[in-house]
């Protein structure tokens, strides 16, 4: 029997990466926190994203929270977010004591709906978080333009969109702030947790540097409220510096797998990703299937791993009952019942890709759907 096809393989993705060289540099330096590797990565990643500043932090969630704090979002303020993106943005908003104001998504891109956003601006939000979901850029240029008219800052959640581009600009360079996660499965992944904030605003960058280290103005002198210990460590930074030059080629490989899938599934009753251009870096290859549970069980029988990103909308999570209850976001709720993720990552071999295609095709051919 053929081996199972995992949803993600760190071994395959990292096959060409030298981990020992970066590790040796750190160990030989005997400096483990906020040293040359972090400074080097911050400069290189800022240049890659096309912005003036990058501040390394401990995780993508911390990046969102510290970004909100830098923008002076406080308890009771409203922050516009989408509700189909895994509760990560909601977590950051709630940590501050602010209120997530959920806006429905576009049924094509599965990102924040510009039309619904325009209506939500009447609620006087303090900020907008735009999540580039599954590697697909949201309609961020239009959103930023409209938000600017109301003087509302935009945070781009780029945790799934490293390197995505539109009109020559990369994810993270459109809004006031861009936040990134370097969780190991990301398009640019560390060997543990890590995150970063990018911005062209020097004042905000300086403020975030203080907030990531207790709010210090100088050592042991706390100037800003809301600070924490949230530092990207030297080892993770060194590894990210090693991997950054591979990012564009890895993204191209992901897109090529998505192209093969889209072509193979074009005549099947499933909804595939809407773009295969530079605005999509195929962090996750997500399709929509009306009979999701049966579909997953069937192709799982052929050794194809799947997952659901994400099954429960934020406004329906039991830990945080929302004023926007069930039925408030019809597109979001429908999409969360249908989405399913198929294997798509650098290093996924052609034979495995074909096996995924065959399993999906057999489901619709023989499962009576």
Report yes or no on 286 lying in a domain.
yes
Are 330 and 354 found together in one domain? yes
Report yes or no on 252 lying in a domain.
yes
- C-alpha distance from residue 92 to each of 60, 73, 87, 103, 246 (Å): 10, 11, 9, 17, 30
pLDDT for res 161: 98
Q: Using CB atoms within 10 Å of the CB of residue 366, give its burial: 0 to 12 exposed, 13 to 18 middle, 19+ buried.
A: exposed
What is the CATH number for 205? 3.40.640.10
Are 241 and 324 found together in one domain? no
pLDDT for res 281: 98
Look at residues 182, 216, 245 and tell me which one is the last residue of a structural domain: 245
Are 255 and 241 found together in one domain? no
pLDDT for res 369: 54
Are 255 and 232 found together in one domain? no
Contact 160, 180 (CB under 8 A): no
DSSP letters spanning 223-267: -STT--B---BHHHHHHHHHHGGGHHHHHHHHHHHHHHHHHHTTT
Report yes or no on 278 lying in a domain.
yes
Are 221 and 313 found together in one domain? no
Structure token pair of residue 272: 């595939």
DSSP letters spanning 60-115: HHHHHHHHHHHTT--TT-EEEE-SSSTTHHHHHHHHHT-EEEE--B-TTT-SB-HH
Summarised one tens digit per residue, pLDDT across range 275-310 is 999 999 999 999 999 999 999 999 999 999 999 999
Look at residues 230, 245, 260 and tell me which one is the last residue of a structural domain: 245
Are 101 and 47 found together in one domain? yes
Q: Quote the pTM value.
A: 0.96
Are 255 and 226 found together in one domain? no
Are 349 and 216 found together in one domain? no
Helices (H), 265-313: 292-300
Run of H or E residues at 43:
helix 36-49
Report yes or no on 57 lying in a domain.
yes
* Range of the structural domain that residue 120 is part of: 10-245
Are 33 and 81 found together in one domain? yes
How would you classify the pairing of strands 53-57 and 195-199? antiparallel
Report yes or no on 4 lying in a domain.
no
pLDDT for res 324: 87
Report yes or no on 25 lying in a domain.
yes
What is the CATH number for 334? 3.90.1150.10
Are 358 and 254 found together in one domain? yes
Report yes or no on 312 lying in a domain.
yes
Q: Which residues of the chain have pLDDT under 70?
A: 1, 368-369
pLDDT for res 368: 54
Owner of token pair 């911005």? 199
Are 306 and 222 found together in one domain? no
Are 132 and 271 found together in one domain? no
Give the closest residue to 84 by CA, choosing from 327, 339, 314: 314
Look at residues 212, 245, 278 and tell me which one is the last residue of a structural domain: 245
pLDDT for res 1: 54
Q: How many domains does the chain have?
A: 2
């Amino acid at each position: 029997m053929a081996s199972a096809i995992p949803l993600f393989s760190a071994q395959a993705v990292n096959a060409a990466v030298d981990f020992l060289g970066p590790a040796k540099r750190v160990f030989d330096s005997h400096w483990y926190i906020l040293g040359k590797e972090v400074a080097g990565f911050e400069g290189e990643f800022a240049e890659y994203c096309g912005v003036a500043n990058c501040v390394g932090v401990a995780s993508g969630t911390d990046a969102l929270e510290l970004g909100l704090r830098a923008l002076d979002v406080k308890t009771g303020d409203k922050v516009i977010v989408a509700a189909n993106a895994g509760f990560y943005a909601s977590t950051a908003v709630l940590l501050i004591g602010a209120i997530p104001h959920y806006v429905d998504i576009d049924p094509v891109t599965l990102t924040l709906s510009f039309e619904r956003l325009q209506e939500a601006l009447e609620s006087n939000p303090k900020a907008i978080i735009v999540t580039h979901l599954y590697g697909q850029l949201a309609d961020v240029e239009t959103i930023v333009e409209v938000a600017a008219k109301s003087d509302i800052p935009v945070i781009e959640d780029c945790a799934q969109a490293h390197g995505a581009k539109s009109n020559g600009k990369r994810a993270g360079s459109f809004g006031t702030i861009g936040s990134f996660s370097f969780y190991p499965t990301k398009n640019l992944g560390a060997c543990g947790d890590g995150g970063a904030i990018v911005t062209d605003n020097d004042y905000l960058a300086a403020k975030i540097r203080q907030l990531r280290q207790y709010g210090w103005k100088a050592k042991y002198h706390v100037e800003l409220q809301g600070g924490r210990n949230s530092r990207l460590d030297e080892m993770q930074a060194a590894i990210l510096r090693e991997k950054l030059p591979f990012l564009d080629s890895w993204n191209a490989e992901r897109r090529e797998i998505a192209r093969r899938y889209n072509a193979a599934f074009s005549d099947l009753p499933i909804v595939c990703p809407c773009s295969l251009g530079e605005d999509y870096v195929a962090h996750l290859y997500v399709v929509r299937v009306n009979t999701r549970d049966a579909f997953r069980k069937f192709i799982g029988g052929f050794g194809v791993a799947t997952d659901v990103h994400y099954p429960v909308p934020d406004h329906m999570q039991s830990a945080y009952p929302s004023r926007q209850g069930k039925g408030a976001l019809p597109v979001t709720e429908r999409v969360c019942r249908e989405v399913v993720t198929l294997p798509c990552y650098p290093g996924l071999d052609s034979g495995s890709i074909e096996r995924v295609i065959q399993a999906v095709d057999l489901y619709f051919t023989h499962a009576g759907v």
